[in-house]
Amino acid sequence: MKYFFNNFKFRYFLMILAVFMLNNCMTGTRLDIRGAVPSDLRGTYTLILYGCTSADDLKNLAILYPDDGPITFEVYSLKTDYTVNKGLSADQALKQAEQFLTCNMDYWKTQLSKIVAKDGTIVGYELRTLYAPYVFGMTNILNVDYSLNKNKVTVYIDLDPEIEKAIETTGHIPHRL
């Protein structure tokens, strides 16, 4: 039995099996991201502000979705990692999101995108922090996945694997200067 756990092929097989099982746990339809402009937003929104727990927190994101819509959003994370504000006008929600996302010392600008279902329906919007290309070697360092199951969108937020690996290897946030 000890031979199996020390065998590279067996450990590799277990790792692939675990990834496959985790993939199957993410049930639902994957949603797409497309460019948006502030004038696209009308009505009142619920605003989810994720991250900004410290000046060097990299996983920062704002999600806006219509208050009167049938679809709700849930972040796959601890409740202490985000806040939810309801009943905001589009202008208020965008302004709060913009202010919130400037929390990181390496902030460059934000990018507004619409979250779109397969049939073309816009279910919400995201505003994410972009970093100057010379800081990390890329502007967008987040991997964000949206999964729609019935009337609930589950949001999975993670760092780009290259950035994550650099942090794990060095013990601090990598700067490319």
Query: Domains in the chain: how many in total?
Result: 1
Q: What is the mean pLDDT of the chain?
A: 88
What does the alpha-carbon distance between residue 74 and residue 77 come to, in Å, rounded to a whole number? 9
By the 10 Å C-beta count (0-12 exposed, 13-18 middle, 19+ buried), 7 is classed as exposed
Inside any domain, residue 14? no
* pLDDT-derived band at 13, boundaries 50, 70, 90: low
* pLDDT tens column, 100-143: 999 988 899 999 999 999 999 999 999 999 998 888 889 999 99
Inside any domain, residue 63? yes
Inside any domain, residue 20? no
Closest CA to 125 of 41, 28, 29, 31: 41
Whole-number pLDDT of residue 96: 98
What does the alpha-carbon distance between residue 3 and residue 11 come to, in Å, rounded to a whole number? 11
Inside any domain, residue 21? no
- What are the two backbone dihedrals, phi and then psi, of residue 21, each rounded to the nearest 5 degrees? -65, -40
* Domain that residue 42 falls in: 29-170
Q: How far is CA 169 from the centre of its chain?
A: 23
Cα separation of the two ends of the chain: 49
Cβ atoms of residues 153 and 36 within 8 Å: no
Instruction: Give Cα separations from 149 to 25, 67, 98, 152, 155 (angstroms).
Output: 12, 18, 29, 6, 11
The pTM is what? 0.82
Inside any domain, residue 3? no
Helices (H), 26-136: 90-101, 133-136
Inside any domain, residue 73? yes
Inside any domain, residue 1? no
Inside any domain, residue 175? no
